[in-house]
């Protein structure tokens, strides 16, 4: 593994599949032209709308999104994380919130189905019941080991509040963890950055966190601030509140340096 540039893409996705995929390609193009070799798209990047509408269109969204990811990865010769889109579960009336990692040949490297579902009454008056349409995944997230890009772990949004999931990834020797998200504006202002920094610090790894931002439909607003954070918890790039790209270097030497300076992973007692 050598140093390389990674990108966390920030979008304002809406209930329009084609419009979202066009926006995603524009931002991938921007990231690749700045030298990114690993690119992450946020949760709900291909469709951000009412859950009932997402469910009704889930089959088409799943098919077109997967085709898009494989086509774009080949076109731009880049490894892409599609950070969360609906894949129907046969005869259940629900779908998995699915993240796919795709290599530059269009091959699927890893798949993760979101385990922790966001069923929360947020104090700003919004209520979220992800489990009403989403089937929770039942398997721990995978780690894909790449000679070129290092060991890459997957997670999605609400997972970031459950450190045991990241300890699992850490136990597999992860160098980089994706946290694609559509974090609410209300919780994001207080918790988004500090949670990402905590996951980076406690596991001494890079965090790549693509994000949704702005107003998507009705009252649904997201926090933004797609970020890349280093193993010491330093924010290397922050996309702010507008659609765009956060780009930073993933440096294996930095991982080694931090793990020498703070060898906490070696000092765990309860494993």
| Band (37; pLDDT cuts 50, 70, 90) | very high
| Band (128; pLDDT cuts 50, 70, 90) | confident
Exposure string over 69-93, b if 16+ CB within 10 A, otherwise e: bbebbbebebbbbbbbbbbbeeeee
Q: How far apart are CA 47 and CA 42, in angstroms?
A: 11
Kindly tell me the burial class for residue 49, based on how many C-beta atoms sit within 10 Å of its own C-beta (0-12, 13-18, 19 or more).
buried
- Residue 122 sits at the vertex; the CA angle it makes with 12 and 62, to the nearest 5 degrees, is 40
Show the domains of the chain with their CATH numbers: 4-267 (3.60.110.10)
The mean pLDDT of the chain is 95
- Residue 174 sits at the vertex; the CA angle it makes with 172 and 176, to the nearest 5 degrees, is 160
**Residue 121 confidence (pLDDT):** 86
DSSP string computed for the chain: ---EEEEEEEE---S-HHHHHHHHHHHHHHHHHTTEEEEEEPTTSS--S-HHHHHHTHHHHHHHHHHHHHHHHHHHT-EEEEEEEEEEETTTTEEEEEEEEE-TTS-EEEEEE--S--EEE-TTS-EEEGGGTBPPP-SPPPEEEETTTEEEE---GGGGG-HHHHHHHHHTT-SEEE--B--BHHHHHHHHHHHHHHHHHHHTSEEEE-EEEEEEETTEEEE---EEE-TTS-EEEE-TTSSEEEEEEE-HHHHHHHHHH--GGGG-S--
The predicted model gives 209-225 an average pLDDT of: 93
Sequence-distant (≥ 6) Cβ neighbours of residue 234 within 8 angstroms:
none
pLDDT digits (tens, 9 = 90+) for 143-167: 999 999 999 999 999 999 999 999 9
Assess whether pLDDT exceeds 80 at residue 24. Answer: yes
**Of 41-55, 122-136, 193-207, which gets the smallest average pLDDT?**
122-136
**Residue 122 confidence (pLDDT):** 80
**Residue 90 confidence (pLDDT):** 86
Catalytic residue IDs:
43, 114, 157
Cα dihedral 187→190→196→202 (10° resolution): -120
The predicted model gives 62-84 an average pLDDT of: 97
Share of residues in the chain with pLDDT > 70 (%): 100
**Residue 218 confidence (pLDDT):** 81
Assess whether pLDDT exceeds 80 at residue 126. Answer: no
| Band (127; pLDDT cuts 50, 70, 90) | confident
pLDDT digits (tens, 9 = 90+) for 227-271: 999 999 999 999 999 999 999 999 999 999 999 999 999 999 987
Higher per-residue confidence, 223 vs 121 = 223
**Of 28-37, 66-75, 118-127, which gets the smallest average pLDDT?**
118-127
> Tokens 């019941």 map to which residue?
129
**Residue 123 confidence (pLDDT):** 82
Q: Using an 8 Å Cβ cutoff, are 237 and 8 in contact?
A: yes
**Of 1-10, 26-35, 121-130, 181-190, which gets the smallest average pLDDT?**
121-130
Q: How far apart are CA 220 and CA 268, in angstroms?
A: 40
Assess whether pLDDT exceeds 90 at residue 206. Answer: yes
Q: How far apart are CA 104 and CA 217, in angstroms?
A: 33
């Amino acid at each position: 593994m050598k140093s390389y540039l990674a990108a966390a893409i920030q979008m304002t996705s809406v209930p329009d599949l084609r419009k979202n995929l066009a926006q995603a390609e524009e931002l991938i193009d921007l990231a690749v032209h700045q030298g990114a070799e690993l690119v992450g798209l946020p949760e709900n990047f291909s469709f951000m709308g009412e859950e009932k509408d997402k469910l009704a269109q889930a089959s088409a969204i799943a098919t077109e999104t997967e085709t898009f990811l494989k086509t774009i990865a080949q076109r731009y010769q880049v490894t892409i994380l599609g950070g969360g889109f609906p894949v129907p579960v046969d005869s259940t009336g629900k779908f998995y919130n699915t993240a796919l990692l795709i290599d530059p040949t269009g091959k699927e490297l890893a798949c993760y189905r979101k385990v922790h579902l966001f069923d929360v009454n947020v104090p700003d008056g919004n209520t979220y019941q992800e489990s009403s349409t989403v089937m929770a995944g039942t398997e721990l997230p995978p780690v894909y080991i790449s000679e070129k890009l290092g060991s890459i772990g997957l997670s999605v949004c609400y997972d970031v509040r459950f450190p045991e999931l990241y300890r699992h990834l850490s136990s597999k020797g992860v160098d980089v963890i994706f946290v694609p998200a559509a974090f609410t504006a209300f919780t994001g202002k207080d918790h988004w950055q500090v949670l990402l920094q905590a996951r980076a610090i406690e596991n001494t790894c890079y965090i790549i966190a693509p994000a949704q931002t702005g107003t998507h439909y009705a009252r649904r607003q997201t926090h933004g601030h797609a970020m890349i954070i280093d193993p010491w918890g330093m924010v290397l790039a922050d996309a702010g509140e507008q659609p765009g790209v956060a780009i930073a270097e993933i440096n294996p030497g930095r991982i080694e340096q931090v793990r020498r300076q703070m060898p906490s992973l070696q000092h765990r007692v309860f494993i």
